[in-house]
Amino acid sequence: MEPSLSIPLRLYREGSASFYSTDLEHLRKMGLSYTKAPVFYNPRMKLNRDVTVSVVRSIGAESAADLMAASGVRPLRLALEAGVNEVAANDSNCLAVHVIRMNARLNGVRMRITCSDARLEAERMASEGIRVRYLDLDPFGSPAPFLDSFLRAVKRGGLIGVTATDTPPLFGIYPEKLFRYYGVVGRKIPPHKEFGIRALISFAARIAARLDLVIRPVLSYGREHYVRVFLSVDRGPSISNRVLRESLGWVEVCDDGYKFHTGVEIPRAECGELMGPIWLDQITDLTFLNSVNPLNAEVESLISAIASEVGGPPLYIRLDDICSRLRVRMPKIREVISSLREKGYFASRTHLEPLGIKTNASRAEVEEVVRNLTAS
């Protein structure tokens, strides 16, 4: 059943913004999912927007745009809570754009509001030289078709925040689509969530390189049904060459653990299946992270979880995977982490997976720790 335009709007409040969007309760009573809303709004993505506000506030951006703005809640919040002076909102759904205009008036926020395809709008911004310091990319599903035009619309020295909800391909559940959309060879492995984030960043780095741009991830995380990366964007063909050489690479999935090969060329396999090219360098910059002033306790707890993982190897291992190989009961994850630290290894939990451990200990060393803990 097609949603009808007679679905009423409702007034919502999120952060400092009051705004109208589709009445989700009414939609639910009609048996329709929120994805069918004539004007899209997903309250479950509030944390995503809270993190965005925290990040944009920290960089002191004077200009920002959401070219897939739906109700306009994100650009409104950037204006009201992150103090951005020049805000632009666009959507290809002109009904949504009508609602954005209403919402901008309601909040007394001046915004550039357009109804266009996001790629055309980004290209237009770039060609007219009105690039923004912060650009948000928040599509339905994959950001891959939009990155090229969006990167052109970011000011050099600016940031792009990318959300991807097409996690099945990124996580290697659909390997063909992972290759088709992101140019990455892979299939689902136990640390699939971090693999997916690294596949997305690798894709962005290669798209940026075609434009003589260089991206660097400053903050990356995964939550519920999506992954999110904030990338700094700069000019520099020569830096871009170096980044591709030093930050991209391949993971070899071997029986005794993951081996990492830096560089874009396909390496010679030594012990297992090769997957890549993925981003092997840090996916979060600790200095940047420390500069972010969290908007609320939930953002603070996410940021501190991410901070504890920085410095670990590119992929976590999973305690359930280790224990099922060893056929032993599962010890407490914090005991495994303390034992590894006592032995002098880097060890931390990961916000991506309750049973994930980031450690530079080899699989054999982790297995020994697990055996000792389960024998006692």
Q: Residues interacting with ligand SAM, by CB under 6 A? A: 40-41, 45, 49, 66, 68-71, 73-74, 91-93, 96, 117-118, 138-140
**If you write DSSP's letter for every residue of 28-42 in order, what string do you get?**
HHTT--GGG-SS---
CB of 165 to ligand SAM, least distance (A): 8
CB atoms within 10 A of CB 105: 11
Distance CA 111, CA 105 (A): 9
Smallest CA-to-CA distance from 250 within 206, 272, 270, 280 is with: 280
CB of 20 to ligand SAM, least distance (A): 13
User: Going by DSSP bridges, is the β-strand pair 248-254/273-279 parallel, antiparallel, or unpaired?
Assistant: antiparallel
Please give the distance of CA 4 from its chain centroid, rounded to a whole number: 32
CB of 172 to ligand SAM, least distance (A): 23
End-to-end CA distance of the chain: 60
CB of 41 to ligand SAM, least distance (A): 6
Distance CA 274, CA 267 (A): 8
Cβ closest to ligand SAM, residue 130 vs residue 239: 130
CB of 84 to ligand SAM, least distance (A): 15
CB atoms within 10 A of CB 4: 9
Cβ closest to ligand SAM, residue 87 vs residue 366: 87
Cβ closest to ligand SAM, residue 104 vs residue 185: 104
